[in-house]
Structure 1
Amino acid sequence: MHRRRPTVTEEEVLHRLEAESRQQTERARAMLQEEGRPDLVEDLDRRLRESRLGITGARATWDALTEPQRRVLLVLLEGNRRLVR
């Protein structure tokens, strides 16, 4: 007779992945500290924060835009304007 495995929920999987990610980050931070590289710890923390806040994705999106697309967005930021097609 086969035993049924307990069903793992999506939430549990995400929780485990998040915990593993935190552990890896802490190991990397500890290694950099041991190597005497607080500058790299600062850089790692900054990059992780920017990723968490969506800044990294926003920069990548901006870099992927063409120059005319960027100009349109900048014009739209200047005031009470809207894009009409």
Structure 2
Amino acid sequence: MKIPKPDIEFEIEKQNRESNARVRALLEAEGRPDLVAELDQRIRDVNLGLTQARNVWHSISPAQRTLLTLMMQVGSKLIREEKTSFYDLVAGPKVERRVTRRPTVRSLISRDLLCCEGGAFDPEAVVVLTENARFVFEKGRVSGS
């Protein structure tokens, strides 16, 4: 007879809920409704992925932010020039040449902000925004950044 293994994720989530409830009760007992509200907001932000989106936005370089902003504004894709590491930004009939280079693109791919659509022989030849990039762009930026 096999002994069932506990669901680790369930146990961690259960412990987190219990810990949050204890902290919340402590703050309420201390008469700090302001801190209870702040705790509730932080927990909500974590659960909705907003905290992670902000962390990703602030972890990328200004050049990477600029590239994502440009791609979001024009709904475009990046196409690498043949035999170079430069990418052109293509939005319908418009082409903006040499907007970025391969290291920037690879960094954004590693963060699941861009994905490759270049095919089996050269996957990085064509790169587009991911849904995650759209979420990070919309929810991760703080006004003015």
> Is TM > 0.5 for Structure 1 vs Structure 2?
yes
Q: Distance in 2 between matches of 1:5 and 1:25?
A: 34
> Does residue 54 of structure 2 align to residue 59 of structure 1?
yes
Q: Which residue of 2 aligns with 1:44?
A: 39
Question: Is 1:81 paired with 2:76?
Answer: yes
Q: Deviations over 1:27-81 (max 9, x none)?
A: 1101001101111111111111111111111111111111111001111111231
Equivalent position amino acid for 2:11 in 1: R
Name the structure with the higher strand share.
2
Consecutive unaligned residues of structure 2, counting only runs of 5 or more, are: 81-145
Moved over 6 A (4+): none
The residue number in structure 1 matching 2:142 is none
Task: Give, in whole Å, the separation in 1 of the partners of 2:58 and 2:46.
Answer: 16
Instruction: Identify which of structures 1 and 2 has the higher relative contact order when contacts are C-alpha pairs closer than 8 Å and 6+ apart.
Output: 2
Greater per-residue helix proportion: 1
- Counterpart CA distance in 2 for 1:82 and 1:55 is 25
Q: How many residues of Structure 1 are paired with residues of Structure 2 in the alignment? A: 80
Partner amino acid, structure 1, of 2:3: P
Structure 1 residue aligned with 2:13: 18
Q: 1:28 maps to which residue?
A: 23
The normalised TM-score by structure 2 is 0.50
CA-atom RMSD, angstroms?
1.7
Question: Taking structure 1 as the reference length, what is the TM-score of the superposition?
Answer: 0.81
Q: 2: CA distance between counterparts of 1:33 and 1:21? A: 18
**How much identity, in percent, do the aligned residues show?**
35
In the aligned structure 1, how far is the partner of 2:10 from the partner of 2:62?
A: 41
Q: Distance in 1 between matches of 2:42 and 2:62?
A: 26
SS at match of 1:84: strand
Equivalent position SS for 1:83? strand
In 2, the alpha carbon distance for the partners of 1:23 and 1:57 equals 22
